[in-house]
Chains A and B, each alone.
Chain A
Amino acid sequence: MARIRLDAVQKRFGATRVLDRVDLDVADGEYIVLLGRSGCGKSTLLRCIAGLEEVSEGRVHIGDRDVTDVSPRDRDVAMVFQSYALYPHMTVARNLAFALEIRSRPRAEIDAAVKDAADLLDIAHLLDRLPAQLSGGQRQRVAMGRAIVRRPAVFLFDEPLSNLDASLRHHMRLELKRLHKRLRGTFVHVTHDQVEAMTLGDRMVLLDGGVVQQVGSPRDVYETPANLFVAKFIGSPQMNLWEAQGHGAHTRVQGVDVDVPVPADGKYTLGVRPNDVRIEAGAPMTAKVEIIEALGDEAFVHLLWGEQRVVARVDPRTAYDVGEDVRFTFGRAHRFDTTTGSRLP
Chain B
Amino acid sequence: MSVVVWHAYHGAEERALQDAADQFEKQSGVDVQIVAVPWGGFDSKVETAVPRGNGPDVLITGHANIGKWSKLGVIEALTPIEGLRPFTVEALTYNGKVWGEPLAFKSPVLLYDPAVIKVPPRTTDEMLALAADHTGPGKYGLAYEASTAYYHGAWLHGFGGSVLVDGLAALDSAPSTEALRFVASLAPYLPTRPTADRVGQLYDDGNAAMVISGPWFVADRTRPIAAATLPIVSATGQPARPYLTVEAAMLCPGHDGQALAFAEYLAGPEGAAIRRDEGFQAVAADVPLTNPLLATLAAQAESAVPLPVDPDVQTAFEAENRALRRVLRGAVSPENAAQEAQAYWKSLVKPRPEPASPLPYAIVATFLGLLGAGAAGRAIGSRTAQIRTNATDYLWVLPATIAVFVLVAVPFLVGAGVSLFATWQGDYVFVGLDNFVNILTSRDWPLTSPMSFFYALGVTVAWTMANVALHVTLGVTLALALREPWIRLRPAFRALLVLPWAVPSYITALIWRTMFDAQYGAVNQLLGAQIDWFGSFFAAFAANLTTNTWLGFPFMMVVTLGALQAIPRDLEEAAMIDGAGYFTRFRHVVWPLLAPALLPAVVMGSVWTFNMFIVVRLVSDGEPDGATELLVSQAYKWAFTRGNLYGYASAYAVIIFFVLLAYSRVTARLLARNKP
Contact = CB atoms under 8 A, between A and B. Distances in A.
A103 B577 CA distance: 12
Contacts of B570: 81, 83, 85
Nearest to A149: B578
Which of B568, B576, B577, B588 has the most chain A CB atoms inside 10 A of its CB? B577
B89 to A, nearest CB: 81
Nearest to A132: B676
Interface string A101-128: 0110000000000000000000000000
Contact of A73 (B578, B588, B676): B578
Nearest to A101: B588
A73 B577 contact: yes
A54 to B, nearest CB: 11
Contact of A85 (B568, B584, B593, B676): B568
B191 to A, nearest CB: 57
Contact of A52 (B568, B573, B580): B573
Interface string B440-483: 00000000000000000000000000000000000000000000
Interface residues of B, number: 18
Nearest to B585: A102
A272 interface: no
A87 B584 CA distance: 14
A99 B579 contact: yes
B522 to A, nearest CB: 41
A277 interface: no
B578 A99 contact: yes
A171 interface: no
A77 interface: yes
Contacts, number: 56
A77 B588 contact: no
A79 B577 contact: yes
A212 B568 CA distance: 30
Interface string A81-97: 10101111100000000
A81 B581 CA distance: 19
B573 A73 contact: no
B571 A73 contact: no
B568 A73 contact: no
Interface string A324-345: 0000000000000000000000
B313 interface: no
A146 B568 contact: no
Which of B568, B571, B676 has the most chain A CB atoms inside 10 A of its CB? B571
B41 interface: no
Nearest to B574: A85
A85 to B, nearest CB: 4
Contacts of A83: 568, 570
A50 interface: yes
Interface in A55-90: 71-73, 77-79, 81, 83, 85-89
Contact of B593 (A52, A79, A88, A99): A88
Contacts of B579: 73, 99, 102-103
A73 B580 CA distance: 7
Nearest to B587: A102
Nearest to B584: A102
B589 interface: yes
A242 interface: no
Which of A50, A99, A132 has the most chain B CB atoms inside 10 A of its CB? A99
B594 to A, nearest CB: 11
A85 B576 contact: no
B571 A85 contact: yes
B574 A79 contact: yes
A98 interface: yes
Contacts of B676: 132
A146 B577 CA distance: 11
Contacts of B593: 88-89
Nearest to A143: B574
Which of B570, B573, B578 has the most chain A CB atoms inside 10 A of its CB? B578
A52 B676 CA distance: 31
A51 B593 CA distance: 24
B592 A89 contact: yes
A72 B576 contact: yes
Nearest to A80: B574
A234 B568 CA distance: 34
Nearest to B581: A73
B577 A52 contact: yes
Contacts of A79: 573-574, 577
Interface string B648-676: 00000000000000000000000000001
B199 to A, nearest CB: 59
Given A85-B571, A132-B676, A78 B589 contact: no
A83 B578 CA distance: 16
Contacts of A98: 575, 578, 580, 588
Contacts of A146: 574, 578
A50 B575 CA distance: 12
Contacts of A50: 577
Contacts of A150: 578
Interface string B586-606: 001100110000000000000
Interface string B89-133: 000000000000000000000000000000000000000000000
A139 to B, nearest CB: 13
Which of B573, B576, B579 has the most chain A CB atoms inside 10 A of its CB? B579
B573 A102 contact: no
Given A87-B589, A89-B593, A102 B580 contact: yes
30 contacts: A52-B577, A71-B576, A72-B573, A72-B576, A72-B577, A73-B576, A73-B578, A73-B580, A77-B577, A78-B577, A79-B573, A81-B570, A83-B568, A83-B570, A87-B571, A87-B575, A88-B571, A88-B593, A89-B592, A89-B593, A98-B575, A98-B578, A99-B579, A102-B578, A102-B580, A102-B588, A103-B579, A132-B676, A146-B578, A150-B578
- Which 9 residue pairs across A and B have the least CB separation, nearest first? A99-B578, A85-B574, A73-B579, A85-B570, A89-B592, A72-B576, A72-B577, A81-B570, A79-B577
Given A77-B577, A87-B575, A89-B593, 13 more contacts: A52-B577, A72-B573, A72-B576, A72-B577, A73-B576, A73-B578, A79-B573, A88-B571, A89-B592, A98-B575, A98-B580, A102-B579, A103-B579
